[in-house]
Amino acid sequence: MSDVSFESGDGELMKVNMGPQHPSTHGVLRLELELDGEIVRSCNPVIGYLHTGMEKTIEQLTYVQAVTITDRMDYLNPLGNNLAYSLSVEQLFGCEIPERAQVGRVLLAELTRINSHLVSIGSGSIDLGVTSVFLYCLREREKVLALFEELTGQRMMSSYIRPGGLAWDMDETWCKHARAFVDEMPRHIDEYEGIVTDNPFFRERTIGIGPLKADDAIRLGVSGPLLRAAGVPHDLRKVHPYTGYERFEFKVVTDDAGDCYGRYKVRVGELRESVKICDQALKLLERVTGPVKTADRKVMPPPKSELATSMESLIHHFKLFTEGMRPPAGQAYCPVESPRGELGYLVVSDGSGKPARVRARTPSFANLQAIELMSKGQLVADLVAIIASIDPVMGDVDR
Amino acid sequence: MSWLFQTELFGFTLANWLYFVVLCLGFIAVLLGGVAYTTLFERRVISLMQVRRGPNRAGPLGVLQPIADGVKLFFKEDTVPRTADKVLHRLAPAISLFAALAAFAVVPVGDAYLIPGFGTLQLWIADLNVGVLYLLGIASIGVYGIVLGGWSSGNKYSLLGALRGAAQLISYEIVLGMSLVGVVMITGEMSLRGIVQWQAEHQIPLVLLQPVGFVLFVVGMFAETNRAPFDLVEADTELVAGFHTEYSGFRFGMYMMSEYMAMITVSAVATSLFLGGWGGPFGFLPGPWWVVVGVILFLFLFVWVRATIPRLRYDQLMRFSWSWLIPLGLVNLAVTAVLVVLLDS
């Protein structure tokens, strides 16, 4: 493609505002572009259009109430956000999470990853004009959301993973439905790959586009599929396992290309790995029984049956429902691998019933910084592919 | 009534004139109806491919949907941006629609048929002896609609779309032209009616004699009508809506109509040139119906491709044309020329 020159000659740049209302910017992202003909000379992302002060809001809420806010930050990865927040709060308490809850958390986090990657692959294809794959991906995403709805009563903002465990147990019917989905998913992934992966038009549009080298990615704090597509096998589930990921078998998918096509390949590979993890988790759930809430009464309320017989339980119950949980003063940060990269909540406690400060380290925000580097010298048409390959969620960026 | 046959205007009797006006209006009416139902056809077929339902509320199977859309477009406010060139902005969609309609004039849908009690009915408007050149010329005029529309809007996205449109259509017109030259060399005719008659006489569709030319023509017609994967001028994810970003109401509708009209026209041309036109079915179907079937097949191809193939980038599109299609066209011409001379002698 280098044999075609796009130099306009006079060097006069045209300023174009792409977004915040633009069909392909994945939410209210605004890009200030300087164009030379169709070449991007500079690309300055302007964010903040979805800023709703979520971190500040959390300071007004109890630790349990705050879970509902984390759902809404990255709306494609609600359960993953619940998980990251819960892990940090649990670190403050130092409480033990029962095994069944841990397996359930892995299962739900991976279902959420499937959900998120499906949207990413689908919207990435529609941005390049393959409309059908988008709808096929959303068809399967709908099944994931139906599973969430069946289990939690909510399709997206379920707040099902909470500090101390899960909201309630997963019953057998649900596991059967989840099993059916996990079994059919590999066939659907083949379907998407059949249309997209070897499509010469798609390859032409993505190979070599939006290059990001490993050292640049690390320097910019980029993580997730973007970093792995640059050849760095960094996956927190492997390098810093949490909530029992060490007992699951999966590969860290990497690609050496560091371009949009590599990122697409990494996401598809991760879809397959996630399906494998879900499969293992469902098998484990059949064997592992027990509670899904921690026995630590400072975190989770006692079961209703104890209230009539135990004075201590009654006090715990009363304290939890009037003041909420009160972690010891201190701070905790426990990052997880969200579909977009490293996601962590720094939770600062002053010993009261409400967090003194919650700071979210969101992957979309860090990844978006790389857009300027990736898009310089590329064409406007490629910018669409690049944004799609970053897969930013504006709720995650602006918070 | 005899004055109708006696008064002459520009060498034709008034009856002749009346006949032509009615014929043209008939063609336009059928075409516009066709355009309306092509939109429905596209939406329904693409929904079936994409596990959706498509418009199915207005009337049984959604047959009233195009009417609802038309009425809606007609009553929408027609806005002209303050920064626009008012005259050109208003004129441009009309140019597009005019070109799309005018191109159909030389396409023969059928032969002349004798209808008892009426006379003969001819199913073509004009039998130009340079019909092929006329088609290419009109196609070039159609580009003005896009370029002027995009440029006069005073919108940067529109401008980018218009520039792409100009570059794309220039490259692909050459491809289109080359694919036609092969046909002209074999048949020795430049009138579309003549080419169809040649195929009927020889009982062979030209797609068998000009397979490469056919492929080139099909690729060229996707580019000529700005359909996916060559829909760069209105690349919705990059340029919002490209050259027609600033259009609304019925002027927007005119662009849509001209796009679908162009699809029907090139499908009909492809049917005539390569599939035998009305002489084509070789006994299975009455001629005009064969043309209709051909057009529907090509429209289906348009929809199918749109559902499957990503949009090309503007430089890739140009490179595809200049380094693959045009050399291929030249080779095809050379081979055809040699064969025609050898077989003739």
Taking CA–CA distances from A382, the nearest residue in chain B reads B313
Q: What is the rounded end-to-end Cα distance, in angstroms, of chain A?
A: 39
A340-350 mean pLDDT: 91
User: CA B147 from chain center: how many Å?
Assistant: 18
Write the pLDDT tens digit of every residue in B270-319: 888 888 777 766 666 677 788 888 889 999 998 888 888 877 777 788 88
Hey, are the CB atoms on B238 and A384 less than 8 Å from each other? Answer: yes
Q: Looking at residues A291-318, what average pLDDT do you find?
A: 86
Using alpha carbons, select from B77, B74, B81 the residue that is nearest to residue B246. B81
Q: Which of B52, B160, B228 sits opposite A129 (nearest CB)?
A: B228
Q: Which of A321, A317, A327 is nearest to A355 (CA)?
A: A327
Q: What is the pLDDT of residues A203-243, one digit of tens each?
A: 888 888 888 888 888 998 898 899 999 888 888 888 888 88
Rounded CA gap, A256 and A263, in Å?
Answer: 10
Cβ-based contacts of A204 with chain B (< 8 Å): 312-313, 316
Percent of chain A past pLDDT 70, that is, above it, reads 96
CATH architecture of A54-398: Orthogonal Bundle (1.10)
> Per-residue pLDDT tens for B37-70?
888 888 888 888 888 888 888 888 888 888 888 8
Q: What is the pLDDT of residues B170-201, one digit of tens each?
A: 788 888 888 888 888 888 888 888 888 888 77
Q: How far apart are CA A390 and CA A203, in angstroms?
A: 17
Question: What is the average per-residue pLDDT within A199-205?
Answer: 83
Strand pairing category for A30-36 and A14-18: antiparallel
Residue A10 and residue A37 in contact, taking contact as beta carbons nearer than 8 Å: no
Amino acid at A6: F
Which of A131, A140, A193, A198 should one mutate to test binding to chain B, selecting the residue with the greatest count of B CBs within 10 A?
A131
DSSP per-residue string spanning A26-43: SSS-EEEEEEETTEEEEE
ipTM > 0.90 (yes/no): no
For residue A132, pLDDT beyond 50: yes
Show which of residues 355-384 on chain A sit within 8 Å of chain B, judged by CB atoms: 379-384
Separation CA A33–CA A353 (nearest Å): 46
Task: Please state whether the peptide bond connecting residue A20 to the residue before it is cis, i.e. omega within 30 degrees of 0.
Answer: yes
Q: What is the mean pLDDT of chain A?
A: 87
Cα B180 from chain centre = 15
d(CA A102, CA A113): 16
User: How far is it, in rounded angstroms, from Cα B293 to Cα A379?
Assistant: 41
Domain chopping of chain A, boundaries: 54-398
What tokens were used for A353? 């019933």
Q: Which residues of B touch A (CB under 8 A)?
A: 46, 49-52, 156-157, 160, 228-229, 231-232, 235-240, 306-316, 318-319
Q: Does the structure show a pLDDT above 90 at A348?
A: yes
Helix or strand or coil: residue B74? helix
Using the predicted structure, report yes or no on whether residue A335 has a pLDDT greater than 70.
Answer: yes
Measured between beta carbons, the chain B residues lying within 8 angstroms of A16 are 156-157
In chain A, count of helices (H) and strands (E)?
A: 17, 9
Q: In this predicted structure, which of A9-13, A133-137, A303-307, A389-393 has the lowest mean pLDDT? A: A9-13
Across the interface, of A23, A130, A199, the residue whose CB is closest to B236 is A23
pLDDT higher than threshold 80 for residue B113 = no
Task: With beta carbons less than 8 A apart as the criterion, state whether A266 and A260 touch.
Answer: no
Q: Show Cβ contacts of residue B301 under 8 Å, excluding neighbours closer than 6 positions.
A: B218
Which amino acid would we find at residue B132?
A: V
